[in-house]
Amino acid sequence: MRTRDPRALVPRLIMVLLLLLGFGRLAQVALHVPLLGYANNYDFIKISSTVGLWVDEVGMDPYEGHPSAPFRHYLSHGIRHRESQYLSSELLFVYPAIAFADAQNFIHGSRVNAFDLRTLGVLKSLCFLAASIFISLLFYRRSAKLGVLSSLIFAVVICDPFNSLYFNTLYFDDSAVIFGYLAVGLGLYLVSTERQSTILTVAFCVALLLLGLSKMQHPGLPLAITTAFCAARARRSWKDGGGRAMMKACAPALAISLLALWLGVINNRAPSMRGMAAAAATDSWFGMTLPALNNVPATLRSLGLPERCEAFVGKNWYTPGMQPPPCPEIFRLHRFQMVWLLLKEPAALWRILKQAIPSTRPFVVFYGQVEGRNFGHIEDEGARFASLGKFFGELASPVYVLLFVTALVGGLLSLLLLMDGRSELCLSFSVFLNAVIVATLIVCLLGDGYADLARHFHIGQSALLIAPVVSLVVVTGLLSELLKRARPKLSEQAR
């Protein structure tokens, strides 16, 4: 009769403990009294208008932002303003949370439409836990170590307060994180296994679609992840069956990514986005691109902009005198023109990156985070809320830039090694993470310039917490292999 080796149970126990630790980190933020969560900088208005969920606090105008502190009490089933609505995969959490609150109110005889924002936070915590159990069990089937590593990433990075502070909010960022997490996890698993599962492929495609619909900055992100997926599979698929096999492996994800991009572009033309589009164009052209170019007057003439617009170069949407827009002609320009200008003048692109990369550094958003306090911070609530994101945010700028560059170099090296026929999982993981980092940074810069860059880059920050470590593993492994190859030659020379 076979007896199970007790040592085999150790990684399983560690995985379970890490999953519980992660869920505990989420729950202590979601259930905390006073409420913990990023305050509203006015972005809540889109979801409020879509589902009819409005803040219910004495003296608080529900149609205004309140960046100094979050509020807990809301009223559901309220007015829905069509001109401010925005469709997002975030609604997949909000609607069930409202239904649960309605049932709870009925059972307890409470006010019919009362809604505690922590109800939403708890639902998101449970969804994140379910997603992590799913991903970790998948990788555990491949290897016990991979299952442990997956649960470790969940507990340390995904459950970090810089992520979970979005749970008790009506922002879009946590839907981007969970569907990005699922898309990368499933894509990486599908790359690592010889036998392809139709169910997991469908799940991967669904995660890509919901990621693209999560937030206005992310319609193109599924395409970046799909590119990483195809790159990681390219050599093996080509070896198995040539171009036809490669297209068969990539076609579903590619089709869904293009659909997500198309739907996202349409969604971003909603009436609620018109003001944001004007602000974004002002910030990206006047605030970022034109100041980086050497000959601004000549560039303005080539773009067909009047001379008076030169006076606004270097200003952004929030600079006094920029509202109403003094140079509305800027809104006729396309981002493709911006890309072409920067490609023609690489020095300008370099100047933008030198300013942009350090600007992605503040990980914990500066809005108020504690209910009832004026710009109170989660750190004031005790060491149990320690944030790795806060640690990264407080790094000296040169150190942070070094980590950023380390992640990018590791990603490029990993891509080259994959194209050369290597198949190590860490190489694919590095490419996936860098796809998220690079795509998010590019879209943020082209979309809004430097404006609120650290907040818009949020999903890229989650990837950046992991990518430097993976890059170091890749580089260390390559150096070790090169050293092993060189040892016989060195020994012969020594003789």
- pLDDT, one tens digit per residue, over 332-372 is 999 999 999 999 999 999 999 999 999 998 788 889 999 99
- Relative orientation angle of helices 117-142 and 91-108, to the nearest 10 degrees: 120
Residue 293 has what pLDDT? 93
Q: What is the pLDDT of residues 61-93, one digit of tens each?
A: 888 989 999 999 999 999 999 889 999 999 999
What percent of the residues of the chain are helix, what percent strand, and what percent coil, each to the nearest 5? 70, 0, 30
For 213, residues 6+ apart whose C-beta sits below 8 A from its C-beta are: 87, 88, 89, 219, 260, 263, 264, 267
Rounded Cα distance between 434 and 440, Å, is: 10
**Span of 11-25, 69-83, 474-488 with lowest mean pLDDT:** 474-488
- CB distance 224 to 182 below 8 Å: no
Residue 495 in this model has a pLDDT that exceeds 70 = no
- Classify the C-alpha dihedral 376-380-381-387 as positive or negative: positive
How many contiguous H segments (helices) and E segments (strands) does the chain have?
20, 3
In 3D, which of 166, 172, 206 has the Cα closest to residue 50? 172
**Where residue 492 falls among pLDDT bands split at 50, 70, 90?**
low
In the chain, the percentage of residues whose pLDDT exceeds 90 is: 73
Contact 14, 21 (CB under 8 A): no
pLDDT band at 136 (very low <50, low <70, confident <90, very high): very high
Q: Is the pTM of this model over 0.95?
A: no
Element (H, E) at 343: helix 335-344
How far apart are the C-alpha atoms of 100 and 120, rounded to whole Å?
Answer: 9
What backbone phi and psi angles, to 5 degrees, belong to 74?
-130, 165
Per-residue exposure over 397-423, b if at least 16 CB sit within 10 Å of its own CB, e if not: eeebbebbebbbbbbebbbebbeeeee
Which residue in 382, 384, 358 sits closest to 454, CA to CA? 358
Please count the other Cβ atoms lying within 10 Å of the Cβ belonging to residue 354.
Answer: 12
- Give the integer Cα–Cα distance in Å for 425 and 399: 27
Residue 94: is its pLDDT beyond 50? yes
Q: Name which residue leads in pLDDT, 435 or 277.
A: 435
Do residues 254 and 226 touch, judged by C-beta distance below 8 A?
yes
Q: Which residues pair with 40 in a beta bridge?
A: 66
Q: Which of 12-21, 32-41, 51-60, 192-201 has the lowest mean pLDDT?
A: 192-201
What 3-state DSSP class applies to 65? Answer: coil
Half-sphere exposure of 489 (CA within 13 A, CB side): 5
At residue 1, the pLDDT reads 42
Weakest-pLDDT range from 216-225, 380-389, 465-474: 380-389
Mean predicted confidence (pLDDT) in 393-407: 93
pLDDT at 490: 61
Q: Residue 99: pLDDT above 70?
A: yes
Per the CB < 8 A criterion, the answer to whether 216 and 268 are in contact is yes
Q: Cα–Cα distance between 457 and 439 in angstroms, integer?
A: 10
